[in-house]
Structure 1
Amino acid sequence: MSSNNTYCFSVHHIATDILLPTVIVEFILGLTGNSIALWIFCFHLKTWKPSTVYLLNLVAADFLLITSLPFRLDYSMRNEDWIFGDVLCRFSLFMLSMNRTASVCFLSVITIDRYFKVVHPHHKINKISVVSAAKIACLIWILIFSSSSFLLSSSYLMSHKNKILCRSFNSHKTFSISAVWHMVVFVTEFFLPLGIILFCTLRIIWKLKRRRLCKNVKIKRTVNVMIIIVVAFIICFSPSILAGFAVLIIKTWMRGNCVPFQIATQIFSTTILFTYLNSVLDPILYCFMSPSFKSIYKKVISFICLCGKKVDENSDSEFRGTISITYSESRRTISITQSNKRTELNE
């Protein structure tokens, strides 16, 4: 837990000041959106398809990240002073790595699934069962665990000016085997899936334009899904890659000059908020992939708004009588009855 083997080491005060309020917002939005998504998966989805299985695993990946966020929030509030010990430090870093790798993998699988359905509609891979999709998901999780398990095998705690720091990317003078493996995985899991996603997206758009089907509602939804995946992937994962390369370049070509190196490492630490943003953006993807998701999300939001309206009316001194709210599935209307007055709201 010493910092004798570190290069231009410093506490990232600026990064923690930026991370703290942003991560709080991302935690609230991510927990809310993915909790609703999980509730929909468990209680409201009647028809399951392979794509649904992959989406469920994407939700699981987001919850892995959410479980570790309270520890990282406390860490930021203390200006990088870890008080939870070695085991929880490893667990926190492992969960962040798992979320990143799992999100990348399942976004890639969803893209490949869409690619075969549009570009090769008669391919046998389009006929796989839900059970087969679940087996594929299990295999992916085994690979994810294997690639990230090195974070559980060694300590990442370091002492610096009466603080205990917990970082997976430490500023070591020399690279250990685990540090080299971490960089290899970190870079590979970005560029390889990005190439797959871009290839599949461009092929799908080209195929649809040749068929002149871009105005079809289902086809437009497919294109929107692909665009969202590309945008989310680039926004969430490219900043950390670019910042990581900047750190390596400065350390290699400007060795001994600590100021630019420390600035670059602060920027790199800040880019983690884009990785956390992934758990906030995923529920938007669910709405575009499944109309039932969008419909249920709307109903949940409408219910919350109606409950808020009911509370406001009950607190009004001029309000008298009772309120009865009834939802009619066949007529797709919401009926609100107050005393002898009745109002109908169309969805």
Structure 2
Amino acid sequence: MQKNMSTNSTIDHCRVPNPATYKTLSWLMIGEFVLGLPLNLSVLYVFIFRFKFWKNKSIFLFNIVVADFLLVACLPAKAYHFHQGMRRSKSTAVCKLMLSMLFLNRGASIAFLITLSLDRYFNVVHLGRRNFVKVLKKSPQISIVIWLLLLPLTIPTMVRTFECCNSHGREVETIYHDVTDTFREVVFFTQIIIPFIILVYCTVRIVNRLRKKTVGERTKLRRAVWVVMSVVVVFSICFLPCTVARAVLLSFRLQKWQAEEDVAVQVYDSLMVLSYIDCLLDPLVYCFCNSGFKDAYISTFCPTFLQEKFINPDFNLGATTTTTPTHSGGRTISLPIIEK
């Protein structure tokens, strides 16, 4: 009977294969929303009113916050559909809009996270050379350009009605439809695999440089390692597992193994729900990337005993540079510390 169903072109692939699994996933998404909304609102408040990101060269970090809000906005609707036993909205317009927002969120998060890692890489491995990423960080227009470049990647989700917004490997009527689906899958995989390769390369080079440096330089290098490692953690938890599951799902679908596909669909959707916790993990990246933001956040929302323990005693929201006096002979020299 299952084999007959797999060959039936009218089978409703948008219905969940196991309602109990998807009801559990819906509650997990509600939990992510309940935790993610206040967390990201508090981060947004600190970035704008306390940290003043435009003065502290943290425009890229702010853009990650914006990308996370796109994700958080989708979670209640996604949870509702799962709870109703559907993998997507019955409305084609809603389905396309949500998938486009999820594509945009994922692309923006990855683009800005990788940019931060590249910035640390050039600051450490190629110290003294012109760092083009640092130049980009100072220009808000560059962030707008990145968003505009990401928008075309969402077009394949809107040009036609996808079955469950996800039809690659199904029966298609024209070559145009097949090319559109294939392009969407290529975008899905390349926006994760290529940045991950770049991230691993940056991490290895920074760690190797850390081993060669003298004791006096190791503090800055350790901070750079923590930055790229925090991005590695986000990738390893949020992006890589669902990418592997997606590849397995497509292989089963192309082989027309319906029973195996039903299992793979549940695994893939479960790992996609797991990937949504990037809106909870990204604030860790903010703290590792900029201790000034960490101090601003703790001073705003944490009790006094935590502020005394974790805040830098020289913390000053109004300054983007500080000076450290050193003595050379009979002279006192002020050395600028450009970024906390």
TM-score, length of structure 1 as denominator length: 0.76
> How many Å separate the matches in 2 of 1:120 and 1:4?
59
| Secondary structure class of the residue paired with 1:124 | coil
1:43 to 32, 35, 49: 49
Counterparts of 1:79-90 in structure 2, within 5 Å, are 79-80=85-86, 85-90=91-96
Q: Using the alignment, how far apart are the partners of 1:6 and 1:106 within structure 2?
A: 42
Q: Percent identity?
A: 29
Q: Which amino acid aligns with 1:274?
A: L
What amino acid does structure 1 have at the position aligned with 2:16? V
AA aligned to 1:155 is T
Partners of 1:51 and 1:132 lie apart in 2 by 6
Deviation at 1:281, TM superposition (A): 0.4
1:53 to 54, 59, 65: 59
Within a 5 Å distance, the mapping from 1:44-123 to structure 2 comes to 44-46=50-52, 48=54, 52-80=58-86, 85-123=91-129
In structure 2, give the amino acid aligned to 1:151: T
Matched AA of 1:192:
I
CA contact (8 A) 2:169 2:253 kept: no
The CA RMSD measured in Å over matched residues stands at 3.1
Cα offset for 1:279?
A: 0.9
User: What SS does structure 2 have at the residue aligned with 1:176?
Assistant: helix
Please tell me the residue identity of whatever aligns with 1:144.
Answer: L
Q: For 1:219 and 1:49, how far apart are their aligned partners in 2?
A: 24
Which residue of structure 1 lines up, in the alignment, with residue 171 of structure 2?
A: 173
For 2:154 and 2:247, how far apart are their aligned partners in 1?
20
Q: CA deviation at 1:300?
A: 3.5
Q: Choose 36-45 or 8-17, whichever is displaced more.
A: 8-17
- Name which of 4, 9, 16 aligns with 1:11: 16
Shift of 1:144: 0.8
Is contact 2:169–2:250 with CA below 8 Å preserved after alignment?
A: no
Stretch deviating more after TM superposition (147-156 or 129-138)? 129-138
> Is this contact kept in 1: 2:100–2:154, CA < 8 A?
yes
Displacement of 1:198 in angstroms is 0.6
What is the Cα deviation at residue 136 of structure 1?
Answer: 2.4
Aligned to 1:274: 274
Q: Is the 8 A contact 1:65 1:99 kept in 2?
A: yes
Q: Which residue of 1 aligns with 2:258?
A: 258
Residue in 2 that maps onto 1:301: 301
Structure 2 counterpart of 1:335: none
Larger mean Cα displacement after TM superposition, 45-54 or 269-278: 45-54
> Could you tell me how far apart the structure 1 residues matched to 2:101 and 2:89 are?
18
Aligned partners of 1:208 and 1:214 also within 8 Å: no
For 2:160 and 2:56, locate their aligned partners in 1 and report how far apart those are by CA, in whole Å.
Answer: 37
Change (3 A) 1:290 1:155: same
Residue 198 of structure 1 aligns with which residue?
A: 200
Q: Residues of 2 paired with 1:251 and 1:137: CA distance?
A: 38
User: Any stretches of 5+ residues in structure 1 without a counterpart?
Assistant: 159-165, 307-328, 333-347
- Residue 122 of structure 1 aligns to a residue whose secondary structure is coil
Cα distance in 2 for partners of 1:265, 1:176 equals 20
Tell which structure's C-alpha radius of gyration is larger.
Answer: 1
Aligned residues of 1:251 and 1:261 also touching (Cα < 8 A): yes
Counterpart CA distance in 1 for 2:70 and 2:150 is 13
8 Å CA contact 1:98–1:148 kept in 2: the answer is yes
5+ residue gaps, structure 2, are 1-6, 307-311, 316-340
Is contact 1:14–1:266 with CA below 8 Å preserved after alignment? no
Displacement over 6 Å in runs of 4+: 329-332
**Alpha-carbon spacing, 1:74–1:202, altered in 2? closer, same or farther (3 Å):** same
Q: 1 CA distance for matches of 2:55 and 2:198?
A: 22
Q: Which residue of 2 aligns with 1:285?
A: 285
Distance 1:276 1:238 in 2: 12
Taking a change above 3 Å as real, the CA distance of residues 128 and 291 of structure 1, as seen in their structure-2 partners, is closer
Query: Aligned in 2, Cα 1:50/1:238: closer, same or farther, shift over 3 Å?
Result: farther
Say which SS state the counterpart of residue 271 (structure 1) adopts.
Answer: helix
2:309 equivalent in structure 1: none
Paired letter, 2:279? S
* Residue 18 of structure 1: how far off its partner (Å): 3.1
Aligned partner letter, 2:83: M
